[in-house]
Every structure is written in structure tokens, then in C-alpha cells.
Structure 1
């Protein structure tokens, strides 16, 4: 049984790796691709990833019911099909760009089902290990960005080569979705599904509303909302690098390299999840590390990237930053990935530990708060100067870390003092 659960976690990680190789690579280059489209059939804007996360946030309210009715594996398969969204860039059109943005936002149940499936295949003694393993596998999405680097290096404008890139990403997304079909059912999963059988929409909503009033969820909300940094590293930072004149002809290719280095940082951060079983290296240590590396990254980005890079509507910005080395930009990519992984793995771990019996509702709340903050960030990111975006990240990162520390401290208190 332990081998079966480990198998499920590995296959789950590989499936998400393939799907999000397509999705995150697309998000990384989307605004740059959109800027390169000059034909009369397309007038969309790449930062309208905000639409995806806006719809995603409200879909999360229905996701627990969908998962309870049809199960985690079928939900992940059906939701994965919607991530064929990347196909819209093979032959771009404004109407299809916005329509698919809405449809993929409806795929929110993918993440709620993933959270449930991960808990179903974990015990209290293995949740940290499995979370770290899943996250490390998920973040091995290096080859999408490597493709971008090899194809775009030395180019100042993006040509019709985008078609083969997005065909490649579409194939990866389809393969990832199909991998969910080979997941195995565990005995623990059967027990949980039998308990949740017949759960009504009313009772699911009641569970979510009940959890929203608990001290743990309220305190973890700022840490969940810190997903502003998800929008930043996955959509804004790559665009800023590609729009920075002092990086020269290598700027567009550096978008791919930046994505690869972010992925390396994510993998390293995922490995810290394996260390949390050691009492000397608790979840708080990993989250604190995430906060520190993000603060360092924010300061270096402020010095290395022109302030107007996120908001220029031309191909590049002409302003010069305080520091010019490309190595600093790539170091920041690594730090952004490392910090993101530190926060996410420990949020998964603490939610799976505290709400093992209510995991569907808990992960739905997590993804709701996360996607709302990401949607807000994507909408303002095309209009707000870089320094103000970084300041928001620092403030929310500090607040989220402090609240996470309080929640961890609460776990050492008697049960009757934890919740009202």
C-alpha cells in the first residue's frame, strides 16, 4: 500500500509537471508574444491572465462539490483537458483568447482535487515528504523554457516560430492530462470517498463557511494571498527581462533561461519539504527562508530592472537600471522560485496536517484566496511601476510569514484553545 501511494504521488507530480510546463511557459512568454502580434485579428493583452485567475477564484467555490460527486481522479482529468488553452496561440484571435481564458479558469477543480488526492495518499508521518516530492516533480518544468531560449536567443522580434512552440506545449499538456488515467485507487481513498458520498452542495458550502471562520484559516489568509508573487514571477518578471534594452539581443532568449532558473529554485525549495520531518528544521524555518530570499530578490530586481519595464507597450524600455549584469537577473529568478516553493510546500503541508478530514474544503479555500490575489495582481501589473509592485510583495510577504508563525505556534496549544 505504501508503494502504491508513492507511485500515485510520483505520477501526480509528473502529470502536473507536463500540464504546467505548457501553462507556465505560456504565461512566461505570453505578453512578449502578444506584443509581437501586429495583425488585425488580435488585440488582446497578455496580462489578461488576470481573467483566468478571476474566473478560477469563483470556480473554486464549486470545486469541492464537483470533486465530491465524481472523485479526485476524474476531476483532474476533465480539468486537465481545459489546459489545452495554449493552443489559442497557434493561430491567435482575440475572441478565442478571451473565451479560453474563461474556460481554463473553470478548471479550478484541478487543484482542489490534487490537494485531496495528495492527502488521500499520505499519512501524518508522510505528508511533508509527499508534498515536497510532488512540488519538486511539478517544478521540473525546465524543457519548455529551454525550448524558448534555444528558439528565441538572438531575436529581437518574435516571428511565426511561435506556432511550433505552442504545438510543442500543447502536446505536453495533453500527455500530462492522460497520465491521470493511470493513477491507482488506494484503500484509504475508497474509505474517504464512501464517507463523502452523497455530500450535497449545501453541506459543502457549509463546511467552507465553517472553515472560513476558524482562526487557522483567517491567520493563514495573508500567506495564501501572498500569491501576488506567483503573478510576478510567472507573468511579469519574464516580460520585464525581455523588455530591458541593456540586455541586448539576448533579452528575448533570457526569458526562457529565467524560467529555467526559476524552475531550479522551485525544485530546491521542494526538497526542503523532505527535511521538515526533522524537528530541528520545521515548517517555520522553511517559510522564513522563503521570506528572506524573496526580500533579497525584490531589492536586487529594483536595482537591476528599469522601473517602467512592466508597463511599456513597445517592445523595450529605454531606461537604464542601477545595476546591469545579466547574472543578477538570473540570480533573482532562482530566488523567486526558491521562495515561492518554500511558501507553497509548507502551506500544503500545514493544511494537510490540520484539515486532513476536511481537505477538499480547506484546499478550495486556499486556491480561492490564492487565485483572487493572483487575478488582482495580473490586472494591475500592466499599469503599476515595478517599484510599487515590489513594495506590495515585501509588505504582504512579511505579514504572511508572521501569520504563518502564529499558526504553527497554535499547533502546540491544547485543542480547545485552537478554534472558537
Structure 2
């Protein structure tokens, strides 16, 4: 989801909370949980569709891949049509912004200033390590985990099944995490749980994993995929909810920061992946997640202290 999607989702959640006199944090969490749950389900459904369409085309025949592309094109078309029915959520502040940003150039200038300004905000600086880690773990799953863990154990044909498991747990945990979100303390607790799930996988591979035969050889990569999916679902939902709660007056700049750091860290993994060992990559992941957790813990302490401190 791009930064405009995050902005729209936050605006819709805030509008719904205001119209129905509901707690903003809870509504933002629920909206993000439902969105990311549906979004993550594409990994599960897409892999199942691929397996169903290509199951008799072991060599990847033209007819099988053509049918697969037609199915995906139909899904894209349906999504595009449904997007046309989205209602624009506007308030006075947004109308003023729309009037001020009369062309694309001025919009880019305004967005650039917003992004730069947020870099001076201590809250954003404390969240940036979590942004970067969220990109690192996504790139690790698709670039390193599938190549170094799934393929040797299950073969190339097993990658789709492992990623379907990953997508299923990603979607389920996105929905669950969204329902449990109420504010910054709950976000910190949920993110810590997702981080622990992923750290278990990293340490497992780093310390005591080797490819084995039999049922366990098949089961281990699927368990790892499930744990990694849990962490990804938690991170996607909670990062979006966190930005919606803390930066609701500048959501475009905040979500732009998220995409910048995510994309930069994903690019780093794909560039350095061929030149470092799996063990070195895992150490980078563990260090990254520790730094990210320290940052969000300090953020929670700082925000809660500011919230509960007596005002003169």
C-alpha cells in the first residue's frame, strides 16, 4: 500500500470514529487490521490459484500461464472498478490543502517539506528503525528464506505452498492485531509479540537448523513460514495504526516516510544478498529488530510520560 492509501485509510477511520463517537485508536486499528488482512490474503489465495491452474502444466505450458494471467487480469480489473466507488473523505483542513496544492509541482514541494519536517520530530526518529526493519524482513522472506530454506527442503514446487502458509498466517494475524489495537501501549505490546515470533525463526536458522528428510524436513520450513507471516501481519497493521494515531494531522508525510525507509531497506537486501552469507544476513536481521524494539519502547515511554505529565 502506498502512502496515499495509508492517508485515505486513516482519514476514513478518523471520519468514522468522529461520526459514530468511537475511540479513534480502536477504529484506526480495526480499519488497518481489516485492510491488511484482506491485502495479505492475496499471498494465500494467489498461490492456491497458481497451483490449481498450473497443476497439470509441469513444464509451465503457454496455455496454463495464459489462463493464469487472464485470472489475475480479471482480479485487477475488478479491483480497479471497485476503487472507482471510493468516497473522498474531506474535512476543512483537507479542503484548504486541496486549494493550496493546485498543481502537481506544488504538491511535490509541499510533500517534500512535510517529509523533511518530520525528520526533526523525535517520535519519527524513534519509529524509523521499525520502518527499516519491516522492509528488511519482507525482503528476507521473499529473497533469502525461499532460496536458502524452502527450496532446499521442499524443492522449487514447494515454494508456493510455503508462501501460502505465510500468507494465511499473515492475513489472520493482521485481522487479530487490528482488533486488539487501542493505542500506543497496545501497539508496542503487539509489535513485540510479532518481533519475538520472527526472532525465534532467525535464531533457529542461525544456531540449530539443517535440512532434514521425512515429515520434519517438510514441517520445519512451514512452521518458519507461519512464524514469519505472524510477524509481517503484525508489523503491517501496527505501523499503519501507529502513524494514524501519532501523525493524524500529517498522514501523507508520515506514510511517505514509511515507504521511503521500507523501499530503501528492501533495496539493500536485494543488492547485498548475493555478496554476504545467510548467517551474516540473519545477524543483520536480529540486530535490526533489537534496534527497532528499543526505539518503539522509548517512544512509548516518551509519549505516555508527555500524556500523563501535569500541565501547568
Give the TM-score category using the shorter length: 0.7 to 0.9
Report the equivalent of 1:272: 177
Q: Is contact 2:136–2:269 with CA below 8 Å preserved after alignment?
A: yes
Whether 1:134 aligns to 2:25 is: no
Unaligned runs of 5+ in 2: 15-23
Of the three residues 74, 80, 84, the one matched with 1:181 is 84
Structure 1 pair 243–275 and aligned structure 2 pair: CA distance change class (3 A): closer
**Deviation larger for 385-394 or 221-230:** 385-394
CA-atom RMSD, angstroms?
A: 2.8
Q: What TM-score does the superposition give when structure 1 sets the normalisation length?
A: 0.62
Structure 1 pair 238–156 and aligned structure 2 pair: CA distance change class (3 A): farther
TM-aligned CA deviation for residue 331 of structure 1? 0.8
The number of aligned residues is 287
Structure 1 pair 405–278 and aligned structure 2 pair: CA distance change class (3 A): closer
Of the three residues 107, 111, 121, the one matched with 1:204 is 111
Report the equivalent of 1:119: 10
TM-aligned CA deviation for residue 283 of structure 1? 1.0
Whether 1:356 aligns to 2:232 is: no
Query: Deviations 1:248-301 (Å, cap 9, x if unpaired)?
Result: xxx23321111211112212321112112289x711111111111001122334
Query: Deviations 1:307-354 (Å, cap 9, x if unpaired)?
Result: xxxxxxxxxxxxx79x96111101111111110111221111111111
Whether 1:146 aligns to 2:48 is: yes
Q: Is contact 1:153–1:254 with CA below 8 Å preserved after alignment?
A: no
Query: Deviations 1:371-410 (Å, cap 9, x if unpaired)?
Result: 1111111222234322222221111011111111111222
The CA distance in 2 between the partners of 1:138 and 1:357, in whole Å, is 25
Unaligned runs of 5+ in 1: 1-109, 307-319
The CA distance in 1 between the partners of 2:203 and 2:56, in whole Å, is 28
The CA distance in 2 between the partners of 1:349 and 1:216, in whole Å, is 14
Q: Aligned to 1:252, what secondary structure does the other structure show?
A: coil
Structure 1 pair 147–183 and aligned structure 2 pair: CA distance change class (3 A): same
Of structures 1 and 2, the one scoring higher in RCO (CA 8 A, sep 6+) is 2
The CA distance in 2 between the partners of 1:128 and 1:393, in whole Å, is 26
Q: What TM-score does the superposition give when structure 2 sets the normalisation length?
A: 0.82
Structure with bigger helix share is 2
The CA distance in 2 between the partners of 1:116 and 1:233, in whole Å, is 27
Whether 1:236 aligns to 2:144 is: yes
Report the equivalent of 1:339: 231
Q: Is contact 1:240–1:305 with CA below 8 Å preserved after alignment?
A: no
Whether 1:375 aligns to 2:267 is: yes
